[in-house]
Amino acid sequence: MVSIAKKILEDHLVEGKFEIGEEIGIRIDHTLTQDATGTMAYLQFEAMGLDKVKTELSVSIVDHNTLQTDFKNPDDHRYLQSVAAKYGIMFSRPGNGICHQVFLERFARPGKTMIGSDSHTPTAGGMGAIAIGAGGLDVAVAMGAGPFYLKTPKMVGVKLTGSLPDYVTAKDVILEVLRRISVKGGVGKILEYFGSGVKTLSVPERATITNMGAETGATTSIFPSDEITREFLKWQEREDQWMEIPAGSDDDFDEIIEINLSELEPLVAKPHSPGDVIPLSEVEGMKVDQVAIGSCTNSSLKDMLTAAALLKGRKIHPDTVLGISPGSRQVLMQLSKDGSLADMITAGARILETACGPCIGMGFAPKTDATIARTFNRNFYGRSGTKSANAYLVSPEVAVAAAVFGEFTDPRKLGDFPKIEIPKSIEIDDSMILKPSDKPEEVEIIRGPNIAPLPEFQALPDDFQFKVLIKTEDNVTTDHIMPAGAKILPLRSNLPEISKHVFEQVDPTFPERALESKEEGGGIIIGGENYGQGSSREHAALAPMYLGIKTVLTKSFARIHRDNLINFGILPLSFANTADYDKIKENDILEIKGVRKALEENQTIIIRDVTQRFDIETSYDLSERDRKILLAGGKLSYI
């Protein structure tokens, strides 16, 4: 037998050979975009000049930029709605829910391949799909029937045995995985779950695990499709879309991680990395100022019913605030029908919109120096909107305990675990999902003044000099490179404007200095290990490109960001000797000669540090296709 991930990938293989590390091209059945990355993706799709998407299913969901403080976000929504109508795309309107939750409920299918312009696309892996996060341009290409290219990943089997004790949850399973392999332990790998513990987890619980698998850097994560998957699809009135995908076994994997669910305890990820996982007991008694329950990781009906049941008859602590954002309109409707919403409100929860909201700093920012407990997947520095906040990632159960007691508390202190009844049937109402127009030729694309045209892409020159503009540490995230939040996110469709915020949290002088050196040849960014982890936002490549960055030189890259750099013609190079990383200094002038020839012939590129007078040997891990894209000045020109 083979692992299920390998089977699905091989069934969709259109180019290359399935050998670890080799590049393969796969056919993509489904695509997903959200609004914050979607506007760019669709501008790029439009530039490709096709009249319709060529996928089985493409879905555009508005969930990120829903805080409408002026015309910008609503203008973008109208643009996205008109594009969807014209090009054959399903459109989930603002208010309908968080992209991954909506996709899991209404669209995901076992055995399909899917890419999405959001790093948590692997959520659909909970349904037995191969679902991969990618840059918007890669999604645009897939919508036009172009293959998606990736390096053949290593197959890691995560063997689950036992069953979760009360108050220990799917969130603790993925936190345990992160505790063991950290934020780069999944790079180049697919995490595939198997073993007797799998059948103890519902689809939304599996989706919590595959969702946050993104934080390990993994290409994706996947569960088998079994009777539990069938039940979930039946519940969603889509049983006809079920197919069985039996789990793999010990021999099917290159590596195995074993987790006995019965032995797990409540865990938390401490500031500022999802990989810094410790037992909850280590922080018990620490005061918590703000609690938030929601996000694409923990906002299913089960999570919300659990939170409501635990809050019932209690009040939140006077020194703590609690915000709850249900994952979808479907979930919210159910909560409001069965009275759970009333239990939350009575306890003192503030009910937030069914959207990403506080997870991406769109409102509900905490107070100065706050300690915050969130059921989300990322706690990067500054992401909550308040730089001095310390964010801990927790399960809904731990979140409720913190809200009730005002400090980190073992949730078992809330008493016997309540019995959570998932109703046999719920109301399925897709009226907030608009079907594409049946007269696409009559649909006009609506562009508000916030939507700036795409920039010009320039081919890489042969020789150039550039200045070291910034030298960063290990594990720099795309949130560091291109911050999000209520102020900056509305600028996603406007490159000149958003570029003014590159590296804002790290060094606010960066954009100005970059523009100055753009006149004199451009700048370079020096990075440590795992540079560009986190969000798939291609703005973290596009905006530096706009500021004149032609090269990024690091110890290593995170997958999606590396692909985005290539897509926009920025050369991703690595140090052959990491000692050179230590030597190189900010403001050094560097020089590259004959880079085009080196790329054409797949030769080593040497960078000269002109200021300190030494040579830096670099290495790169670029397929022939990658090198052609770089030589063309990016993927759009290449196509």
Q: Tell me which residue has tokens 């079920």.
A: 242
- The reply to whether 171 sits near ligand MIC by the rule CB under 6 A is no
Nearest alpha carbon to residue 356 among 561, 62, 58: 62
- Minimum gap (Å) between residue 76 Cβ and ligand SF4: 16
Q: Tell me how many residues contact ligand SF4 (CB under 6 A).
A: 12
Nearest partner of 104 among 255, 256, 209, 244, judged by Cα:
209
Determine contact, residues 483/537, Cβ cutoff 8 Å: no
Can you tell me the distance from the alpha carbon of 360 to that of 358, in angstroms, rounded to the nearest whole number? 5
Closest CA to 288 of 179, 412, 394, 172: 394
Q: In what order do the strands lie in the sheet with 90-92?
A: 130-133, 113-116, 30-34, 57-61, 90-92, 433-434
Partner whose binding site includes residue 295, from ligand MIC, ligand SF4, none (CB under 5 to 8 Å by kind): ligand SF4
Residue 37 interaction partner, one of ligand SF4, ligand MIC, none, beta carbon < 5-8 Å per kind: ligand MIC
Q: Which residues are catalytic?
A: 63-64, 118, 378, 535, 537
Closest distance of CB 492 from ligand SF4, Å: 13
Alpha-carbon distance of 161 to 636, in angstroms, equals 47
Q: Print burial letters for 586-602: b (CB count within 10 Å at least 16), e (below 16).
A: eebbbebeebeebbeee
Q: Strand, helix or coil at 472?
A: coil
Nearer to ligand MIC, 29 or 118 (CB): 118
Segment 116 to 135, residues that bind ligand MIC, using CB under 6 A: 118-120
Q: Which does 370 bind (CB under 5 to 8 A by kind): ligand MIC, ligand SF4, none?
A: none
Q: CB nearer to ligand SF4: give 116 or 411.
A: 116
Number of residues located near ligand MIC, criterion CB under 6 A = 12
Query: Residues 87-106 vs ligand SF4: string with x where CB under 6 A?
Result: -----------xx-------
The nearest distance, CB 296 to ligand SF4, in angstroms, is: 3
Burial call 258-281: b when 16+ CB within 10 Å, e when fewer: ebebeebebbbbbebbbbbbeebe
Contacting residue, 360, 460, 573, 584, with ligand MIC by CB under 6 A: 360
User: Binding to ligand MIC by residue 475, rule CB under 6 A?
Assistant: no
Query: What is the three-class DSSP state of 90?
Result: strand
Measured CA distances, 296 to 174, 362, 527 (Å): 14, 14, 29
Residue in 5, 127, 356, 560 binding ligand SF4, rule: CB under 6 A: 356
Q: Please choose, from the candidates 166, 128, 134, the residue with its C-alpha nearest in 3D space to the C-alpha of residue 149.
A: 134
Structure token pair of residue 601: 């012939």
98 interface partner picked from ligand MIC, ligand SF4, none, CB below 5 to 8 A per type: ligand SF4
Contacting residue, 120, 171, 272, 627, with ligand SF4 by CB under 6 A:
120
**Of 383 and 467, which has the nearer Cβ to ligand SF4?**
383
**With respect to ligand MIC, which residue has the nearer C-beta, 340 or 564?**
564
589 to each of 4, 516, 582, how far by Cα in Å? 49, 14, 16
372-401: contacts with ligand SF4 (CB under 6 A): 376-377
CB of 335 to ligand SF4, least distance (A): 18
Nearer to ligand MIC, 120 or 329 (CB): 120
535 binds ligand MIC (CB under 6 A): yes
Q: Cβ 535 to ligand SF4, closest distance in Å?
A: 7
Q: Which residue type does 71 have?
A: F
Binding part of the chain for ligand SF4, among 255-263, 355-363, 443-451, 468-476 by CB under 6 A, reads 355-363
Give the dihedral sign, CA 509/532/119/571. Answer: positive
Task: Select from ligand SF4, ligand MIC, none the partner in contact with residue 537, using the beta carbon and a kind-dependent cut-off of 5 to 8 Å.
Answer: ligand MIC
What gap in Å lies between CA 392 and CA 383, rounded to an integer?
12
Nearer to ligand SF4, 375 or 574 (CB): 375
* DSSP state letter for 475: T
In 3D space, the residue among 372, 320, 312 whose CA is nearest the CA of residue 347 turns out to be 312
Strands 589-592 and 23-26: unpaired
Residues 294 to 313 in contact with ligand SF4, rule: CB under 6 A: 295-296
If the CB atoms of residues 159 and 480 are measured against ligand MIC, the closer one turns out to be 480
| Residue 66 touching ligand SF4 (CB under 6 A) | no
Residues between 371 and 400 with contacts to ligand MIC, criterion CB under 6 A? 378
| For ligand SF4, the closer CB: 326 or 522 | 326
Name the residue nearer to ligand MIC (CB basis): 349 or 543. 543
Decide: is 562 part of the binding site for ligand MIC (CB under 6 A): no
Task: Annotate each residue in 257-296 with x if it binds ligand SF4 (CB under 6 A) or - if it does not, as one string.
Answer: --------------------------------------xx
Region 9-48 residues binding ligand MIC, contact defined as CB under 6 A: 36-37
Contact 253, 192 (CB under 8 A): yes
In angstroms, the CA 297 to CA 101 distance is: 8
Q: What angle do CA 186, 187, 193 make, to 5 degrees?
A: 35
Q: Shortest distance, CB of residue 360 to ligand MIC, whole angstroms?
A: 5
Quick one: which of 320, 536, 551, 574 contacts ligand MIC (CB under 6 A)? 536
Give the shortest CB-563-to-ligand MIC separation in angstroms: 13
Query: Does 298 engage in binding with ligand MIC (CB under 6 A)?
Result: no
Q: Whole-angstrom Cα distance, residue 581 to residue 616?
A: 9
- Cite the beta strand spans of 459-583 per DSSP E: 464-471, 523-526, 549-554, 571-575
* Residue 276 Cα distances to 183, 269, 391, angstroms: 9, 5, 11
Interface with ligand MIC by CB under 6 A: which residues? 36-37, 64, 118-120, 360, 378, 484, 535-537
Interface with ligand SF4 by CB under 6 A: which residues? 64, 98-99, 118, 120, 295-296, 356, 359-360, 376-377
